[in-house]
Amino acid sequence: MKRLLVANRGEIAVRIVRAARDLGISPVAVYSSADADAPHVRLADAAVEIGPPQATKSYLVIDALVAAAKETGAEGVHPGYGFLAERADFAAAVADAGLTFVGPNARTIELMGDKVRARAAAADAGVPTVPGTPEGVADVDAALAAADDVGYPVMLKAAAGGGGRGIRVVADAGELRTAFPQASREAASAFGDGRMYVERFVRRARHVEVQVLADGEGVVHLYERECSLQRRRQKMVEEAPAPGIDATKREAMTADAVALSSAVGYTSAGTVEFLVDDESGEHFFIEMNTRIQVEHPVTELVTGIDLVAEQLRIAAGEPLRVRQDDVAVRGHAVEFRVVAEDPEAGFRPSPGSVGRVTLPAGPWVRCDTWLEPDSKVSPFYDSLLAKVVVWGEDRATALRRGGRALAEFAVEGVPTTAGFFLELLEEPWFAAGEFTTGTLEEWLAERAQE
Amino acid sequence: MSRHEVVSPIPGVFYRRPDPDSPMFTEEGQTVEADQTICLVEVMKSFHSVPAGAAGTLVEFLVENEDVVDAGQPVAVIEDGG
């Protein structure tokens, strides 16, 4: 591959441009009219304007991206994350145009993008999924039998439903006897189908994901990342390795991630996401992300492997260079996602023009960003300004270094979450690594009261 | 009769329906309540509902669905019958 179209914007476009250059591949950028002055455009060898600011008219227009690749002589297309990265029709359109999609094929993207089929694929590969009935049950006796198999507490979910309607959590058989008929009646009137799924309710869980690399022949894992600290399902802080995961659990989860990826004939970089029950310690497959992740740098810092470069090598048809025995985790890495949101105003998005910008640097600090002095933070795209990623020989050292780096981070003109993370670093539960997916929002609710 | 201009509180993309498969929140000529959502503005992938702000007849939208709007830009006109 000599030329690569980077079908994205922001920090990930800059990241991909750099990986391409490191491999001697010529990067080509695309941009909407709002991004004409963006660094990913300037750093590339060529750039094509693909439309107006709205993503639906630019970064999401498949034909415009394929045409840009063709007209600039690009042989490959890297989708980044977000936008079209997990759209099977984009991967298919790129392949149909005779170009190489940097990612798995359309069939795999489609399979893993379908929750029911992905869950079935995991079960077939012997990977645990959240225990539950594969189909809806229609009456109380069937529900009681299912709940005994699954283990209490259980969640009742409308088989035909969605959007959280009709969901009930029940603690024991007594509660189930009362709740089932009500929930089933509600489901019948809302969806015309009274059948209910009975599923284990995981009260407190960690979100832990395993990074894999695969070339269609072999699969290796690059260990795990901990991503439980979320607000409204948006990750805010990620780290590797995951605190609270012991060697036995790590071995089981990574083996499961490899088993699933092998079973579906996976190619490229991918992430297998698990929920880890904080009480029982069990892990359950949730979904597979068939793309590079925002938080990939923490894995790069602890393994020394450039994930984007490996994606490009695999896409170019090279066999996997990384052998499982060569992958080792050294030290600890943490990523803080600094976004243009106002933590003092309910994390209100805060687009605008920035003035001076001071980015953290120095030993073992990496700042992946698109931000420069006088940048415009556009209302049209997500609010990510920079990923401040730090490495330390152990977790405590990494967190202390994170504090140092975040204190250096300064942007004039728009509120950011950098200072908020300094507060988070003061919290004993964070320092101790004791948290689950609900912890950050609970803390935010308490903080709002003060 | 008084005239009320509905302004976008934030910059972003203006939408007249909750999602591409749903009907419009309201049409020109329809009666609206003050707290009724008449449009959404998307900023940085988060969606903010904009209420009518006054009860009356929505006589006109000043921008098209999916147009770009600035903070403070009028997007619709409401007239009350009083």
Interval B26-50: pLDDT, tens: 999 999 999 999 999 999 988 899 9
What's the mean per-residue pLDDT of chain A?
95
Confidence of residue A232 (pLDDT cuts 50, 70, 90): confident
Q: Which long-range contacts (CB under 8 A, 24 or more apart) does A51-55 make?
A: A52/B68, A53/A378, A53/A380, A53/B68, A54/A380, A54/B13, A54/B66, A54/B68, A55/A83, A55/A380, A55/A381
Which fold, A205-449?
D-amino Acid Aminotransferase; Chain A, domain 1 (3.30.470)
The size of chain A, in residues, is 450
Q: What's the average model confidence in pLDDT over A5-23?
A: 98
- Which residues of chain A are within 8 Å of residue B12 when distances are taken between CB atoms? 379-380
Look at residue A388 in the predicted model and tell me its pLDDT.
98
> Which of A54, A349, A382 is closest, CB to CB, to B66?
A54
Q: What pLDDT sits at residue A163? A: 54
* DSSP summary character for residue A82: S
Q: Does B15 touch chain A (CB under 8 A)?
A: no
Considering the segment(s) A3-102 as one domain, its CATH architecture is: 3-Layer(aba) Sandwich (3.40)
- Shortest distance between the Cα of A419 and any Cα of chain B, in A, equals 20
Number of other residues whose CB lies within 10 A of the CB of residue A32: 22
B56-64 average pLDDT score: 96
- Looking at residue B47, what is its pLDDT? 87
Residue A244, Ramachandran bin (φ over 0: left; ψ between -120 and 50: alpha; else beta): left
Catalytic residue among A15, A200, A291, A313: A291
* Contact present, A77 and A30 (Cβ < 8 Å): no
CATH classification at residue B15: 2.40.50.100
Answer yes or no: do A383 and B45 touch at CB < 8 A. Answer: yes
B-facing residues of A in 320-359 (CB < 8 A) are 340-341, 349, 351
Mean pLDDT of A100-115: 95
pTM: 0.91
Distance from CA of B67 to the nearest CA of A (A): 9
Task: Find residue B32's DSSP bridge partners.
Answer: B56
3-state SS, residue A447: helix
How high is the pLDDT of residue A105?
A: 97
Confidence of residue A52 (pLDDT cuts 50, 70, 90): very high
Give me the torsion for CA of A170, A443, A278, A146, rounded to 10°.
20
Residue B66 near chain A (CB below 8 Å): yes
pLDDT recorded at residue A374: 95
The answer to whether A108 and A265 are in contact (CB under 8 A) is: yes
Chain A residues touching B10 at Cβ < 8 A: 349, 379
**Span A330-350, mean pLDDT?**
95
What is the reported pLDDT for A72? 98
Q: Can you give the pLDDT at residue B46?
A: 86
| Nearest alpha carbon to residue B57 among B81, B82, B21, B73 | B81
Query: Do the beta carbons of residue A291 and residue A297 sit within 8 Å?
Result: no
Contacts of A383 in chain B (CB under 8 A): 44-45
The mean per-residue pLDDT over the stretch A263-292 comes to 96
Contact A242, A224 (CB under 8 A): yes
For position A116, what pLDDT does the model report? 81
What pLDDT was estimated at residue A98?
98
Domain extent for B23:
2-80
pLDDT band per the 50, 70, 90 thresholds, residue A284 = very high
Is pLDDT at A214 greater than 60 in this prediction?
Answer: yes
pLDDT above 70: residue A3? yes
Tell me whether residues B10 and A53 touch, CB distance under 8 A.
no
* Model confidence band, residue A162 (pLDDT cutoffs 50, 70, 90): low
CATH of A140-200, one of 3.30.530.20, 3.20.20.450, 3.30.1490.20, 3.40.309.10: 3.30.1490.20
The contacts of residue B20 (CB under 8 Å, 6+ apart) are none
CB-based contact A351 B44, cutoff 8 Å: yes
A379·B43 Cβ contact <8 A: yes
Distance, in angstroms, between B2 CA and closest chain A CA? 33
Cross-chain residue pair B12–A380, CB shorter than 8 Å = yes
Residues of A with CB below 8 A from B11's CB? 351, 379
What is the pLDDT at residue A189?
A: 78
pLDDT band (50, 70, 90) for residue A164: low
CA distance A431 to A110: 39
Following DSSP, what letter does each residue of A380-420 receive, concatenated? TS--EEEEEEEEESSHHHHHHHHHHHHHH-EESSS--SHHH
**How many structural domains are present in chain B?**
1
Q: Is the pLDDT of residue A101 over 90?
A: yes
User: Which chain B residues touch A337 with a CB distance below 8 Å?
Assistant: none
Q: Which helix (H) or strand (E) holds A311?
A: helix A307-315
Domain positions in chain A: 3-102, 140-200, 205-449
> Least CB-CB distance to B43: which of A52, A54, A351?
A351
* Residue A26 β-bridge partners: A3
Best mutation target among A32, A33, A54, A59 (most B Cβ atoms within 10 Å) is A54
The answer to whether A404 is a known catalytic residue is: no
